[in-house]
Chains A and B, each alone.
Chain A
Amino acid sequence: SQTIHQWPATLVQPVGSPLSLECTVEGTSNPNLYWYRQAAGRGLQLLFYSVGIGQISSEVPQNLSASRPQDRQFILSSKKLLLSDSGFYLCAWRGVRYGYTFGSGTRLTVV
């Protein structure tokens, strides 16, 4: 069966520090992968999606970037975090029938 792993679960980082969040998928090949962010009390905002290795589409220009170095690995990064980067970050992959399967999320607090 397909599973999605996302870590860390929580993260507290100072303003100006770098960020790297990793997401991996098991049990499937060439998945579509997605990064969403949810600010406190808000809806889910699509940040990036990838249909294959090295292929990244950005939905919202901002202080973040994404990379897909391997088929089942999706990384979200920032060189210098801002306070506004705080939020709940979710990785997801697209299944054949049921739409998305989401990871458990990373709650990022920038202080």
Chain B
Amino acid sequence: DAKTTQPTSMDCAEGRAANLPCNHSTISGNEYVYWYRQIHSQGPQYIIHGLKNNETNEMASLIITEDRKSSTLILPHATLRDTAVYYCIVSTYNFNKFYFGSGTKLNVKP
């Protein structure tokens, strides 16, 4: 069962930052936060993951609150190609299975 809560959809203007929130109030101390995205008719793609420190890579930044009960994925300069469903997942590092929730449909508009 998915242990995260995300808004159903969000809009973002092209070139602006997209901030996608995720609530995971029951996260355990050894569970990581993973973010994936799924562009229409493709398999989900890994974006970023973190435990408690903020993380940044070439795709996005991940901000995790100090109590770890929520996080925000930031796409610094959204493009039309970032239109996708974004999934937030919590799981241990040595996980056996991921449960995907409903995700957030991000619509990037010109």
A interface residue numbers (CB < 8 A to B):
32, 34, 36, 43-44, 46, 49, 51, 59, 88, 90, 92, 94, 98-105, 107
Q: Interface on chain A toward B: helix, strand, loop, or mixed SS?
A: strand
Whether A94 touches B103, Cβ cut-off 8 Å, given contacts A99-B49, A101-B46, A102-B44, is no
Across-interface contacts of A102 in B (CB, < 8 A) = 43-45
21 A–B contacts, CB within 8 A, in A order: A34-B98, A43-B87, A43-B101, A44-B38, A44-B100, A49-B96, A88-B41, A90-B43, A92-B43, A94-B95, A99-B89, A99-B95, A100-B36, A100-B44, A100-B46, A102-B43, A102-B45, A104-B42, A104-B43, A105-B41, A105-B43
Q: How many A-B residue pairs have CB under 8 A?
A: 52
Cβ proximity bits B92-110 to A, threshold 8 Å, 1 near / 0 not: 0001111111110000000
CB within 8 Å of A: which of B23-63?
34, 36, 38, 41-46, 49
Across-interface contacts of B38 in A (CB, < 8 A) = 44
Across-interface contacts of A36 in B (CB, < 8 A) = 100
Partner of A99, one of B42, B46, B103: B46
Whether A46 touches B46, Cβ cut-off 8 Å, given contacts A88-B41, A105-B41, A107-B41, is no
Additional 6 contacts, C-beta under 8 A, given A59-B97, A102-B44, A102-B45: A43-B87, A43-B100, A92-B43, A99-B89, A100-B44, A104-B42
